[in-house]
């Protein structure tokens, strides 16, 4: 038996394993382990333990740790063990540390030295052991310490060592691409290694490199194809065979790489067709690994430039997968189908019954995969059936992670393809009711916005019908126990805004319900806040309509409670409610206009109406206001932070000896500059030309300081930015121009898609068999859709939307992405502007540049880019690639070209809000634009929820 | 990329864990609990894949032992299934018709073998012969350095009773 080659294990250890094996309960097991920990703690710290004994202790520690207990007391001994001379002991030491320590553990620094030494060892087994540890333990900081040795090992005579060195380098690249980016060419060299194992290992890092940057590896297409050809023709040694398949793992890796290289590249793809076709033919579909290769072929075919013959072979394989009895193959078949329908949507139809079978399969995994497929093939014709099914399934599961995912998919599909607003609201209600707390708050806001804005057309009647049906349904839903908080917020807002609007329900009905909500969910302050503001609105509308207001007794008691609430937010709302009730009708009309949640609020953040007053004060000898950022104390702090940042990024840990101190480090110079200006409290002595008014009460960064510290603020903003834009689109009822604009745009596209869907779908449904019925409603659309545009009975605009929609399932996103890319432009332009602003600040008038920038931002907000841009740029690129890839190729290239630079150049993008900010305080004619930018910034402030909430509620 | 490898017995006892992505001890316990609940309850004819926290877990049962590997969403599940089989075959060659007890008492060996097969979450060696040879080379060094040889089989045999 092979186990004879093992360590000596004492009776004690075997007993331990045995007793744990026999433990009847988790509690018993825990007790045994705790005992063992006590014993080991005692023993391991005894002096002069023989190595053999120590080794066993370490193995026992590994065992304890494996069972989920903490063995950290012994880590240091494992570390010590790696220092040992004998390979036998060392190997155990390395095994233990790789199992114990994560890459950020403090003890790693103690191992680095040993690893360095071992990498130089002349025994290749020692080197191998050290390389194993390198892959697991070396982190970004310690990479430089071992990098030279690992590089040398790439040329080691033993292939096992070369292989591990490649993988170690790959790991370094994953952890810190910058530290090894200059060594990337070594991977290319190793591709020609004469050992297939090493070559195979090289494919891992190459795959990752190519995934990040396809274009610089296009030259390798020929090499990869010829390697794949050789492998498929069994040129490699039999040792790499696996169930009669020649080196399948290498084939799979190569196919993955080819899929990347051939994506959207006709020329490169053409080189691949023959070899992929060969593999399709040669693959043995009876073994698991053969099917794995076939599946990878399908992935490759669906990713590269389409070739009808290959698509046909792929479709054949898919139908074989789907017809198989094995669930695994069905699963892969569904997955592959999802990939292929992007290219040839008609393929789904022939498999409809198989898909329905999978959907009704008891196997959850298969079911979920099928939902994923349905999600990919949703269009306006089948959205109702699919979303309905999805929600049913969502209700039936308890796995929160998946529930969240499927809920967000339902929302996405509903937003994209909803046939009517009525349906949309009902669907949203169901989603919220069952997965409310898992849904992004943004969704709630967009639902409120939809109800508030209606169709976005001038059909007030339909809008009010929509609203009253929403109110009605919410009043009914309120009877259900335990509703999710987010949903309650929506309900409260809608009831407050529209509860009494159509006169069906009296104010006392609605207020009664709202009080019930506040009482039933008294632990949820947000809900209570929403309810309070809703109450205020109801009463305000009553007053404005010159009706007599009677406050319900329960409402009065609620107010009394809130007036003394610990939450200042609730308290304030309660006081405001009190104040509003005391006002006369006219005043109330002004502060709480009815149905005005979509109107604009102009916020004069410069407080320019105070200018006269300030002027007066200064004339009388008052001190001018110094913005916070220019006060010397503040500057110091940010200065320090900047320095810290520098040191962390440029130095890290050092492993060589310290050099002699130099007089000044280069990177400090900019700070020195700041420091010198910092002594002078007056903002800018250097720019006498500027028309800057010191009197103006200004926001933190004025132009002068922005120049000096531009980079510094960029660094801080970097973290703020991602939440910035999304938030803009969420704060719906703050009624900013931008938000309204886009959502109307979106609304329009959904609306247009809605109207035409019904007639084409209905006749399909009368097939006897239930499954066929379902299949028809799911798949039937695809053949019909082509005809529909011709019958387009709506406005021209609407039908053009439909044409796109019927061709590519997701092409409605295209419209959005068009918008988004135009919104992407400003960051790009800013990108260019920003560096010049910093570097040439001394010669150029910064405002000239800002003016240029302002214009572009104006364009952006005109196209109402902000919310659209909140979809992150690379997703955009992805959409463009996949959805528009074939039909609209030129467009696609252009779009991705536009969006890419902004992805790569993040610092530039982050600088945008800052630039607009500094520009916005200039007193110039572009008032409306400035306000726009400001409102956006305000609505966006993510830190405190209260002020935000307020804006949501106060129409 | 493979995020971790788990060997769990049918009773939910952990036989081997190897983590290629950072997980704290607390998370590890949670992961194991969640996954054993998910996998051990699945029927025999279902898929060998489970969706879990946006990742996939591929598992295969050999006798009373479940081999599980957690991978990214876009990895090839069938390939991972084959890697599991690959590992089992190497174990089998090494131990000579491997059984759960071999792994229980020699889990550190199972680790050494795994280290030759997978590295940094990727398959490093597609040839079984190479893996076996490398492990044997390490063992032969161990062999010479070893102080005591014979008794182990007996002890295991006893303990197994």
Residue A830 is predicted with a pLDDT of 40
Measured distance CA(A871)–CA(A701) in Å, rounded: 28
Asked if A249 and B123 come within 8 Å (Cβ–Cβ), the reply is: yes
Last residue of a domain, one of A395, A422, A438: A438
A104 interface with B at CB cutoff 8 Å: yes
Residue B63 is predicted with a pLDDT of 87
Residue A737 and residue A702 in contact, taking contact as beta carbons nearer than 8 Å: no
In chain A, the number of structural domains is 4
3-state secondary structure of A155: coil
Residue B23, pLDDT > 60, answer yes
Same domain assignment for residues A464 and A587: yes
Contact partners, residue A331, CB within 8 Å, separation at least 6: A365, A366, A369, B47, B49, B77
Residue B58 is predicted with a pLDDT of 93
Residue A249 and residue A200 in contact, taking contact as beta carbons nearer than 8 Å: yes
**How many whole angstroms from its chain centre is CA A776?**
35
Find which of A26, A68, A108, A336 to mutate to test the B interface (most B CBs within 10 Å of its CB). A68
Residue A139 and residue A103 in contact, taking contact as beta carbons nearer than 8 Å: yes
As a three-state string, the secondary structure of A200-243 is: HHHHHHHHHHHHHCCHHHHHHHHHHHHHHHHHHCCCCCHHHCEC
Question: Is the Cα torsion angle A574, A576, A577, A578 positive or negative in sign?
Answer: positive
Measured distance CA(A335)–CA(A355) in Å, rounded: 11
- The tokens describing A104, both together, are 């950020």
Same domain assignment for residues A427 and A340: no
Residue A485 and residue A526 in contact, taking contact as beta carbons nearer than 8 Å: yes
In a domain, A262, yes or no: yes
In a domain, A790, yes or no: no
Residue B59: pLDDT band (50, 70, 90) is: very high
In a domain, A318, yes or no: yes
In a domain, A758, yes or no: no
In a domain, A238, yes or no: yes
Residue A374: pLDDT band (50, 70, 90) is: confident
* pLDDT tens-digit series, residues A408-465: 888 888 878 877 777 888 888 888 888 777 777 777 887 788 777 765 555 667 777 7
* pLDDT tens-digit series, residues A450-465: 777 765 555 667 777 7
Same domain assignment for residues A521 and A452: yes
Range A231-250 average pLDDT: 83
String of DSSP letters for B38-63: HHTTS-TTS-SEEEETTEEEEEEEET
User: What distances in angstroms separate CA A405 from CA A165, A726, A898, B54, one per listed residue?
Assistant: 39, 19, 30, 9
Burial (CB count <10 Å: 0-12, 13-18, 19+), residue B18:
buried
Residue B69: pLDDT band (50, 70, 90) is: very high
Nearest to A328 by CA among B114, B24, B45: B45
Architecture of domain B2-160: 2-Layer Sandwich (3.30)
Range A921-943 average pLDDT: 47
A109-118, A159-168, A792-801, B133-142: least confident range: A792-801
Residue A627 and residue A702 in contact, taking contact as beta carbons nearer than 8 Å: yes
Neighbour count for residue A906 (Cβ, 10 Å): 15
Same domain assignment for residues A561 and A458: yes
Q: What percent of chain A has pLDDT over 70?
A: 64
Residue A295 is predicted with a pLDDT of 92
In the block, which residue shows the tokens 């092409």? A811
3-state secondary structure of A35: helix
Residue B139 is predicted with a pLDDT of 80
In a domain, A522, yes or no: yes
The Cα of B117 is separated from the nearest Cα of chain A by a number of Å equal to 11
In a domain, A179, yes or no: no
Q: What percent of chain A has pLDDT over 90?
A: 2
Residue A660 is predicted with a pLDDT of 66
Range A765-778 average pLDDT: 64
User: What distances in angstroms separate CA A783 from CA A322, A777, A790, A803, one per listed residue?
Assistant: 22, 12, 14, 14
Nearest to A95 by CA among A145, A135, A42: A135
- The tokens describing A769, both together, are 């068999």
Q: For residue B7, list chain A residues with Cβ-Cβ distance below 8 A.
A: none
Domain ranges of chain B: 2-160
- Indicate the residue of B47, B77, B152 with minimum beta-carbon distance to A366: B47
Measured distance CA(A263)–CA(A272) in Å, rounded: 11
Same domain assignment for residues A271 and A249: yes
Same domain assignment for residues A329 and A424: no
Same domain assignment for residues A515 and A590: yes
Measured distance CA(A528)–CA(A538) in Å, rounded: 15
The Cα of A910 is separated from the nearest Cα of chain B by a number of Å equal to 29
Residue A501 is predicted with a pLDDT of 74
Neighbour count for residue B140 (Cβ, 10 Å): 12
Asked if B138 and A201 come within 8 Å (Cβ–Cβ), the reply is: no
| Farthest-apart Cα atoms in chain B, separation | 49
* pLDDT tens-digit series, residues A483-508: 888 888 888 888 888 877 777 778 78
Residue A4 and residue B153 in contact, taking contact as beta carbons nearer than 8 Å: yes
Top pLDDT among A646 and A566 is at A566
Q: For residue A201, list chain B residues with Cβ-Cβ distance below 8 A.
A: 122, 124-125
Residue A864, by phi and psi: left (phi above 0), alpha (psi -120 to 50) or beta? left
Which residues face B122 on adjacent strands? B119
- Indicate the residue of A4, A7, A99 with minimum beta-carbon distance to B153: A4
Residue A225 and residue A271 in contact, taking contact as beta carbons nearer than 8 Å: yes
Same domain assignment for residues A309 and A285: no
Q: Which helix (H) or strand (E) holds A141?
A: none
Q: For residue A92, list chain B residues with Cβ-Cβ distance below 8 A.
A: 108
Q: For residue B94, list chain A residues with Cβ-Cβ distance below 8 A.
A: 2
* pLDDT tens-digit series, residues A860-892: 444 444 444 444 444 444 444 444 434 444 444
Residue A662: pLDDT band (50, 70, 90) is: low
Phi and psi at residue A631, to the nearest 5°: -70, 140
3-state secondary structure of A263: strand
End-to-end CA distance of chain A: 80
Last residue of a domain, one of A596, A628, A651: A596
User: What distances in angstroms separate CA A671 from CA A458, A633, A792, one per listed residue?
Assistant: 58, 15, 65
* pLDDT tens-digit series, residues A54-100: 888 888 899 888 888 888 888 888 888 888 888 888 888 999 999 98
Residue A531, pLDDT > 80, answer yes
- Indicate the residue of B16, B53, B152 with minimum beta-carbon distance to A66: B16
Last residue of a domain, one of A535, A563, A596: A596
Strands B2-9 and B65-71: antiparallel
Asked if A8 and B152 come within 8 Å (Cβ–Cβ), the reply is: yes
Top pLDDT among A731 and A60 is at A60
Contact partners, residue A36, CB within 8 Å, separation at least 6: A16, A60, A64
Measured distance CA(B18)–CA(B36) in Å, rounded: 15
Strands B14-19 and B49-52: unpaired
Question: Is the Cα torsion angle A594, A754, A436, A430 positive or negative in sign?
Answer: positive
In a domain, A116, yes or no: no
Structural domain for A464, as ranges:
441-596
3-state secondary structure of A344: coil
Residue A791 is predicted with a pLDDT of 36
* pLDDT tens-digit series, residues B103-158: 888 888 899 899 988 988 888 888 888 888 888 888 876 655 444 444 555 556 55
Query: How many residue pairs bridge chain A and chain B with CB atoms within 8 Å of each other?
Result: 205
């Amino acid at each position: 038996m092979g186990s004879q080659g093992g360590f000596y294990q004492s009776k004690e250890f075997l007993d331990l394993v045995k007793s744990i094996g026999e433990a009847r309960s988790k509690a018993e097991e825990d007790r045994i382990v705790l005992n063992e920990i006590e014993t080991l703690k005692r023993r391991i710290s005894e002096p002069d333990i023989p190595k053999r004994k120590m080794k066993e202790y370490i193995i026992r520690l590994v065992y304890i740790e494996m069972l989920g207990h903490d063995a950290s007391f012994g880590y240091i001994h494992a570390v010590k063990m790696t220092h040992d001379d004998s390979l036998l002991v060392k190997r155990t030491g390395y095994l233990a540390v790789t199992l114990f320590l994560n890459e950020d553990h403090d003890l790693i620094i103690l191992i680095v030295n040993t690893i360095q030494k071992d990498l130089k060892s002349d025994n290749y087994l020692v080197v191998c052991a050290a390389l194993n540890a390198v892959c697991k333990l070396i982190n970004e900081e310690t990479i430089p310490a071992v990098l030279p040795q690992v590089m040398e090992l790439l040329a080691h005579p033993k292939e096992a060592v070369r292989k591990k060195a490649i993988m170690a380098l790959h790991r370094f690249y994953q952890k810190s691409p910058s530290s090894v980016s200059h060594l990337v060419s070594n991977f290319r060299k190793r591709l020609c290694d004469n050992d297939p194992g090493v070559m195979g290992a090289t494919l891992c890092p190459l795959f990752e490199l190519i995934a990040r940057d396809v274009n610089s590896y296009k030259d390798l297409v020929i090499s990869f194809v010829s390697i794949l050809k050789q492998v498929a023709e069994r040129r490699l040694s039999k040792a790499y065979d696996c169930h009669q398949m020649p080196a399948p793992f290498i084939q799979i890796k190569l196919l993955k790489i080819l899929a990347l290289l051939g994506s959207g590249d006709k020329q490169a793809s053409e080189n691949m067709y023959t070899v992929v076709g060969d593999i399709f033919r040669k693959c043995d579909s009876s073994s698991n690994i053969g099917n794995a290769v076939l599946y990878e072929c399908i992935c490759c075919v669906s990713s590269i430039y389409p070739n009808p013959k290959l698509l046909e072979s792929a479709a054949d394989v898919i139908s074989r997968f789907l017809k198989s009895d094995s669930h695994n193959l069905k699963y892969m078949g569904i997955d592959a189908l999802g990939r292929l329908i992007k290219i040839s949507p008609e393929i789904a139809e022939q498999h409809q019954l198989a898909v329905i079978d999978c959907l009704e399969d008891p196997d959850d995994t298969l079911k979920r995969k099928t939902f994923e497929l349905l999600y990919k093939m949703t269009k306006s014709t089948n959205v109702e059936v699919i979303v309905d099914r999805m929600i049913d399934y969502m209700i039936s599961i308890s796995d929160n992670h998946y529930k969240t995912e499927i809920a967000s998919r339902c929302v996405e599909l509903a937003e994209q393809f909803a046939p009517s607003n009525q349906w949309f609201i009902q669907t949203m209600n169901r989603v919220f009711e069952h997965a409310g707390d898992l849904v992004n708050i943004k969704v709630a806001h967009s639902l409120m916005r939809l109800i508030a804005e209606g169709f976005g057309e001038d059909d007030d009647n339909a809008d009010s019908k929509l609203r009253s049906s929403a109110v009605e349904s919410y009043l009914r839903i309120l009877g259900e126990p335990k509703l999710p908080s987010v949903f309650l917020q929506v309900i409260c807002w809608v009831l407050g805004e529209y509860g009494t609007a159509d006169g069906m329900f009296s104010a006392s009905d609605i207020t009664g319900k709202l009080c019930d909500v506040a009482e039933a969910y008294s632990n949820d302050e947000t809900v209570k806040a929403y309810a309070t503001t809703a109450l205020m609105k109801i009463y305000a509308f009553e007053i404005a309509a010159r009706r007599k207001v009677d406050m319900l007794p329960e409402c009065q008691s609620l107010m009394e409670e809130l007036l003394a609430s610990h939450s200042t937010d609730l308290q304030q709302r309660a006081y405001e409610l009190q104040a509003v009730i005391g006002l006369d009708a006219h005043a109330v009309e002004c502060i709480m206009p009815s149905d005005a949640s979509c109107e604009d609020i102009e916020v004069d953040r410069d407080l320019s109406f105070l200018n006269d007053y300030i002027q007066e004060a200064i004339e009388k000898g008052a001190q001018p206001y110094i913005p916070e950022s220019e006060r010397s104390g503040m500057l110091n702090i940010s200065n320090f932070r900047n320095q810290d940042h520098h040191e962390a990024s440029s130095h890290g840990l050092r492993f060589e000896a310290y050099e002699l101190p130099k007089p000044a480090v280069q990177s400090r110079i900019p700070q020195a500059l700041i420091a010198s200006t910092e002594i002078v409290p007056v903002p800018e002595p250097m720019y006498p030309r500027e028309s800057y008014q010191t009197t103006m009460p200004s926001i933190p960064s004025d132009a002068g300081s922005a120049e000096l510290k531009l980079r510094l603020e960029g660094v801080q903003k970097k973290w703020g930015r991602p939440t910035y834009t999304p938030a803009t689109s969420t704060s719906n009822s703050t009624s900013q121009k931008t938000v309204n604009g886009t959502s109307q745009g979106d609304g329009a596209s959904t609306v247009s898609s809605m109207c035409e869907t019904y007639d084409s779908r209905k006749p399909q449904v009368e097939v006897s068999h239930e499954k066929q019925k379902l299949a028809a409603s799911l798949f039937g659309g695809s053949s019909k859709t082509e005809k529909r545009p011709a019958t387009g009975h709506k406005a021209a605009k609407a039908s053009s939307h439909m044409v796109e929609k019927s061709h590519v399932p997701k092409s409605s996103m295209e419209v959005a992405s068009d918008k988004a890319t135009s919104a992407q432009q400003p960051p790009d332009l800013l990108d260019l502007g920003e560096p010049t602003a910093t570097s040439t600040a001394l010669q150029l008038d910064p405002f000239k540049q800002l003016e240029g920038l302002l214009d572009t931002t104006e364009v952006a907000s005109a196209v109402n880019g902000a919310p659209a841009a909140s979809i992150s740029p690379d997703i955009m690129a992805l959409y463009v690639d996949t959805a528009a890839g074939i039909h609209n190729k030129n467009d696609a290239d252009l779009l991705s070209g536009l969006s890419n630079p902004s992805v790569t150049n993040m610092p530039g993008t982050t600088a945008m809000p800052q630039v607009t900010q500094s520009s916005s305080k200039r007193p110039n004619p572009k008032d409306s634009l400035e306000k726009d930018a400001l409102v956006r910034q305000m609505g966006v402030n993510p830190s405190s929820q209260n002020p935000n909430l307020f804006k949501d509620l106060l129409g | 990329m493979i995020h971790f490898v788990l060997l769990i017995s049918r009773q939910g006892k952990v036989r081997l864990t190897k983590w290629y992505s950072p997980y704290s001890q607390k998370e590890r316990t949670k992961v194991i609990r969640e996954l054993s609940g998910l996998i051990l309850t699945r029927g025999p004819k279902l898929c060998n894949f489970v969706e879990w926290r946006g990742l996939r877990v591929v598992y295969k049962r050999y006798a009373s032992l479940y081999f599980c590997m957690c991978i990214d969403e876009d990895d090839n599940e069938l390939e991972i299934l084959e890697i599991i089989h690959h590992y089992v075959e190497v174990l089998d060659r090494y131990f000579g018709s491997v059984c759960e007890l071999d792994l229980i008492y020699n889990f550190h060996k199972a680790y050494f073998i795994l280290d030759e097969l997978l590295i940094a979450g990727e398959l490093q060696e597609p040839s079984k012969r190479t893996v076996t040879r490398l492990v044997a080379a390490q063992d032969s060094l161990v062999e010479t350095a070893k102080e005591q040889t014979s008794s182990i089989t007996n002890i295991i045999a006893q303990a197994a009773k």
